[in-house]
Amino acid sequence: MITRKRLAAGACGALLAALAAGLLPSPALADDGDSAEGAPKESPKVELVLDVSGSMRARDIDGQSRMAAAKQAFNEVLDATPEEVRLGIRTLGANYAGEDKKKGCEDTRQLYPVGKLDRTEAKTAVATLAPTGFTPVGPALLGAAKDLEGGNATRRIVLITDGEDTCGPLDPCVVAREIAAKGTHLVIDTLGLVPNAKIRQQLTCIAEATGGTYTAVQHKEQLSKRVKQLVDRAADPVVNPVATKGGASCQAAPKLTAGLYTDRAKFGEHRWYQVQVKPGQELRAAVSIGADRAVNNDYGILVRAFTLSGREIVRGQESGDGRTDVISSGLRYPKSDVDAEKGQEPPAETVCLQVSSSFSAPPSVKTEPGMPVELALDLVDSPKKAADVASFGLGHGWWLLGVLVLVGLLAGLVFGWLSRWRVAVWRTN
């Protein structure tokens, strides 16, 4: 009897040990370890656009003239530019000293071509600059965009100016939006040297239109630090999305596979895309729409997945208010596996993705070109569905233990009495 009980206890212990050993956390299901950050295919291009207009003579940055501060900042930036960055310099208002506005407003020139940086040469070129003419920001941006043309490198323009573009009729903000709409992934960062409402408005508008930033410069160190930071940012490897054009209906929609896409959608416009989802696959879609211009305070986004027959499968939505760069949402659609006949691949389902936003803008804001849409699609294997609320239907907590102990005790008593009764019956017989 004693030996048997000890055996039973031993078996329990062994069982527990086996359970514990077999169920220890199993590592890693998706980490392949090689998250290699390959260098971009082409080295990034940056163009610094410097205002050399007459007003740069003003001595209001740490007691120095704006021009001197800019020159010093440029020297520091040129020293710190990463090797792989191809850097160019363009000036505006550097050459024409006359009074003719028409001529002055065409005055923009490439001072140093975009390419492998020769620090000494670039510095010498910058040293020759003297504050001279007008402030044609629009033409300078167009020129800079042209300088950076070609290839699929990361592009960035850093605009440093102390005055608004008074040249007209070319609004630099419209120019910036047109440059962005070309889909060349060009970002314009702006730095204003004067805290003036008009300049700030113009520069924030340019930055907003291209997904760039605006900085109000007050000190020399701030200027060089910021420009250095922006040039370094250009050197970061980044995945550029592929341009696509969504259809007006599901039938007219482009067929997309997993990847990163970009599109333009006007206010109130619906965009459709088609994705093929095989049984046993899960579709993951993330969409963001950028607010690249002044928009009304309240906005939202709706992403829906439809079947070809027009039944809604799942939706993702989000809304917000206040300043924003993007509004985004996403959805998941796991398609359950089906048993296919032998040798036959089960047909893929065509899922239609509809993207719409409730952005609106005051009448003064241009609606062309549309707002930038970014679409990230992933296709993975379907998840293992939950069969129970709890993990594997297992229990947890003191109530569970109490119930188990109580039931175990009762069962033991019942079996004990039963066997005693049986022994007693056997004995009497």
Range 288-327, binding another protein (CB under 8 A):
288, 314, 316, 318, 322-326
Window of 17-25, 114-122, 128-136, 338-346 that interacts with another protein by CB under 8 A: 17-25
Window of 16-24, 112-120, 171-179, 342-350 that interacts with another protein by CB under 8 A: 16-24
Residue 186 pairs in a beta bridge with 155
Window of 65-73, 100-108, 117-125, 208-216 that interacts with another protein by CB under 8 A: 208-216
If one asks whether residue 339 binds another protein (CB under 8 A), the answer comes out as no
Window of 68-76, 165-173, 216-224, 358-366 that interacts with another protein by CB under 8 A: 216-224
Alpha-carbon distances of 128 from 61, 86, 140, rounded to whole Å: 20, 21, 19
Q: Which of 55, 91, 329, 357 binds another protein (CB under 8 A)?
A: 329
Window of 77-85, 103-111, 192-200, 344-352 that interacts with another protein by CB under 8 A: 192-200
If one asks whether residue 359 binds another protein (CB under 8 A), the answer comes out as no
Separation CA 374–CA 326 (nearest Å): 10
Half-sphere exposure of 297 (CA within 13 A, CB side): 1
If one asks whether residue 415 binds another protein (CB under 8 A), the answer comes out as yes
CB of 112 to another protein, least distance (A): 26
| Strands of 298-306's sheet in order across | 255-256, 271-277, 349-357, 298-306, 312-321
If one asks whether residue 422 binds another protein (CB under 8 A), the answer comes out as no
If one asks whether residue 29 binds another protein (CB under 8 A), the answer comes out as yes
The site string for another protein over 361-400 (x = CB under 8 A, - otherwise) reads -------------x-x-xxxxxxxxxxxxxxxxxxxx--x
Element (H, E) at 16: helix 2-22
- Read off the tokens for 399: 């109530």
Window of 96-104, 112-120, 263-271, 416-424 that interacts with another protein by CB under 8 A: 416-424
CB of 318 to another protein, least distance (A): 5
Q: Which is nearer to another protein, 97 or 409 (CB)?
A: 409
Q: How many CB atoms lie within 10 A of CB 170?
A: 16
Long-range Cβ contact pairs of 173-179 (< 8 A, separation 24 or more): 173/202, 173/205, 173/206, 173/209, 174/366, 175/138, 175/141, 175/142, 176/141, 176/205, 176/206, 176/209, 176/210, 177/209, 177/210, 177/292, 177/293, 177/366, 177/369, 178/369, 179/141, 179/142, 179/145, 179/210
Q: Which of 150, 168, 237, 347 binds another protein (CB under 8 A)?
A: 237
Window of 134-142, 339-347, 363-371, 413-421 that interacts with another protein by CB under 8 A: 413-421
Q: Are 59 and 65 in contact (CB under 8 A)?
A: yes
- Read off the tokens for 107: 């005055």
Q: Are 246 and 223 in contact (CB under 8 A)?
A: no
Q: Which of 266, 296, 406, 422 binds another protein (CB under 8 A)?
A: 406
Separation CA 147–CA 136 (nearest Å): 17
Q: How far apart are the first and last CA of the chain?
A: 23
CB of 382 to another protein, least distance (A): 7
Q: Which of 21, 36, 343, 425 binds another protein (CB under 8 A)?
A: 36
Show contacts with another protein in window 246-275 (CB under 8 A). 258-260
CB of 34 to another protein, least distance (A): 8
Give the count of residues interacting with another protein (CB under 8 A).
118
Element (H, E) at 143: helix 137-147
Taking each helix axis as running N to C, give the angle between helix 172-181 and helix 197-210, from 0 to 180 degrees, rounded to the nearest 10.
Answer: 10
Separation CA 174–CA 366 (nearest Å): 9
Q: Which is nearer to another protein, 96 or 261 (CB)?
A: 261
Q: Which is nearer to another protein, 177 or 304 (CB)?
A: 304
If one asks whether residue 192 binds another protein (CB under 8 A), the answer comes out as yes
Q: Are 212 and 206 in contact (CB under 8 A)?
A: yes
If one asks whether residue 20 binds another protein (CB under 8 A), the answer comes out as yes
